């Protein structure tokens, strides 16, 4: 009797009864019952069984228990019938478990799909942002480079212009210097008004006449040659007299003599636009009119030279008091 609870524990109740009452039911019914037991056990060990197939599992257990009762009552037909129903109910439960398992997998696969899509979208966005940042950086770099190049160009141009201006100024100064030296060779002297070449009246003209004498033509030719070397330069030809005689006569005479010198220069090749003849009469004496020698000095024609650019040191063309 000690081994009997052991047996009951180790084997399903139905199996024990079958063993004890085997003589009265068919072996086919026995195997049907065993098959049903196996199906039911298989179902109830599935972790999803209660959730997915609670009802068919219960129905299968009920049918199995009825089959066990039938074994006890030696009713082969009932054993067959309830075993069949129990097995089929268990199979229905297994199909329902399989359905739920597949549905859960569909759900997780769908979630995975969404996760992958979002992930790839996020990655694409990141790549695009990265590219945009790089493009912006490139554009900034390019713009900076362009600006630097422009600045360098501007600086170079400005430096070139400064150099050119300095060169031009140097050339102008050299020309000016050269002109001054040449004028000094022609016996001109430097005054506040500019370079002045004084031609003595007695050399230029016979007394009371306004025709330039042949002896003076040589020195006027030298002036004309000088003027050809400095094409921008201009001359103011100013005639002066001593104080003898009326102002009207002196003014007119000095004007005529200035004009005569101007004409002579013109004849030697100086363009009339570069010449201006002005009669200044007895004004601005360079010596005393009380002596004959002084008066002779006062009778003169002065050539006032502009700078090499054509500008006179003082712009007062009719200056009386210099």
Q: Nearest approach, Cβ of 88 to other proteins (angstroms)?
A: 4
Q: Does 244 bind other proteins (CB under 8 A)?
A: no
Find the radius of gyration of the CA atoms of the chain.
68
Q: Nearest approach, Cβ of 140 to other proteins (angstroms)?
A: 17
Site for other proteins in 49-78 (CB under 8 A): 56, 75-77
Contact between 82 and 73 (Cβ < 8 Å): no
Q: What is the DSSP string of 124-175?
A: HHHHHHHHHHHHHHHHHHHHHHHHHHHHHHHHHHHHHHHHHHHHHHHHHHHH
Nearer to other proteins, 62 or 251 (CB): 62
Q: Does 30 bind other proteins (CB under 8 A)?
A: no
Q: What is the DSSP letter of 274?
A: G
Q: Which residue has the tokens 């060169």?
A: 167
Which of 125-133, 163-171, 226-234, 262-270 is the region at the interface with other proteins (rule: CB under 8 A)?
A: 125-133
Among 42, 61, 72, 84, binds other proteins (CB under 8 A): 84
Which of 91-99, 147-155, 178-186, 266-274 is the region at the interface with other proteins (rule: CB under 8 A)?
A: 91-99
Q: Total residues contacting other proteins (rule CB under 8 A)?
A: 39
Residue 27: phi and psi, rounded to 5, are: -65, -30
Nearer to other proteins, 21 or 293 (CB): 21
Q: Nearest approach, Cβ of 22 to other proteins (angstroms)?
A: 17
Nearer to other proteins, 93 or 201 (CB): 93
Nearer to other proteins, 141 or 190 (CB): 141
Q: Does 27 bind other proteins (CB under 8 A)?
A: no
Distances (CA, A) of 239 to 61, 145, 205, 252, 261: 152, 68, 12, 10, 9
| 279 contact partners, CB below 8 Å, separation of at least 6 | 238, 239, 251, 252, 253, 254, 255, 256, 257, 258, 259
Which of 64-72, 95-103, 249-257, 314-322 is the region at the interface with other proteins (rule: CB under 8 A)?
A: 95-103
Q: Among candidates 219, 138, 192, 230, which has minimal Cα distance to 316?
A: 192
Helices (H) and strands (E) in the chain, counts: 9, 5
Q: Does 44 bind other proteins (CB under 8 A)?
A: no
Q: Does 216 bind other proteins (CB under 8 A)?
A: no
3-state SS class at 308: coil
Taking the C-alpha atoms of residue 190 and residue 183, their distance in angstroms, rounded to an integer, is: 9
| 318 contact partners, CB below 8 Å, separation of at least 6 | 278
Q: Does 85 bind other proteins (CB under 8 A)?
A: yes
Q: Nearest approach, Cβ of 1 to other proteins (angstroms)?
A: 35
Taking the C-alpha atoms of residue 151 and residue 160, their distance in angstroms, rounded to an integer, is: 14
| 54 contact partners, CB below 8 Å, separation of at least 6 | none
Q: Does 102 bind other proteins (CB under 8 A)?
A: yes
Distances (CA, A) of 66 to 55, 187, 193, 214: 17, 157, 148, 167
Among 33, 64, 89, 264, binds other proteins (CB under 8 A): 89
Which of 105-113, 146-154, 204-212, 253-261 is the region at the interface with other proteins (rule: CB under 8 A)?
A: 105-113
Which of 7-15, 115-123, 146-154, 204-212 is the region at the interface with other proteins (rule: CB under 8 A)?
A: 115-123
Q: Among candidates 195, 196, 197, 193, which has minimal Cα distance to 220?
A: 197
Q: Does 130 bind other proteins (CB under 8 A)?
A: yes
Residues that bind other proteins (CB under 8 A): 26, 28, 32, 56, 75-77, 80-81, 84-85, 88-89, 91-92, 95-96, 98-99, 102-103, 105-106, 109-110, 112-113, 116-117, 119-120, 122-124, 126-127, 130-131, 134
């Amino acid at each position: 009797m000690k081994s009997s609870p052991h047996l009951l524990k180790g084997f399903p109740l139905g199996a024990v009864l079958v063993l004890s009452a085997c003589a009265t039911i068919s072996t086919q019914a026995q195997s049907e019952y065993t098959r049903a037991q196996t199906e039911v056990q298989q179902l109830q060990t599935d972790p999803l069984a209660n959730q997915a197939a609670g009802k068919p599992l219960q129905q299968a257990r009920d049918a199995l228990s009825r089959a066990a009762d039938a074994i006890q009552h030696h009713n082969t037909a009932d054993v067959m019938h309830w075993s069949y129903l129990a097995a089929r109910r268990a199979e229905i439960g297994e199909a329902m478990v399989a359905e739920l398992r597949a549905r859960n997998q569909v759900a997780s696969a769908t979630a995975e799909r969404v996760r992958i899509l979002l992930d790839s979208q996020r990655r694409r966005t990141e790549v695009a942002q990265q590219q945009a940042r790089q493009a912006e950086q490139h554009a900034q770099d390019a713009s900076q480079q362009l600006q630097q190049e422009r600045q360098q160009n501007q600086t170079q141009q400005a430096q070139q212009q400064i150099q050119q201006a300095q060169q031009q100024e140097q050339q102008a100064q050299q020309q000016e210097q050269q002109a001054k030296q040449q004028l000094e060779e022609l016996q001109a002297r430097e005054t506040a008004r500019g370079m002045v070449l004084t031609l003595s009246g007695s050399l230029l003209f016979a007394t009371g006449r306004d025709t330039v004498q042949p002896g003076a033509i040589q020195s006027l030719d030298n002036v004309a040659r000088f003027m050809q070397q400095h094409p921008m330069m201009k001359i103011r030809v100013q005639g002066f007299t001593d104080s003898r005689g009326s102002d009207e006569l002196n003014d007119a005479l000095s004007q005529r003599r200035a004009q005569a010198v101007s004409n002579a220069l013109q004849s030697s090749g100086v363009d009339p636009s570069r010449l201006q003849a002005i009669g200044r009469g007895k004004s601005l004496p360079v010596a005393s009119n009380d002596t004959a020698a002084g008066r002779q000095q006062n009778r003169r024609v002065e050539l006032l030279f502009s700078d090499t650019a054509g500008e006179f040191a003082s712009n007062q063309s009719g200056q009386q008091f210099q």
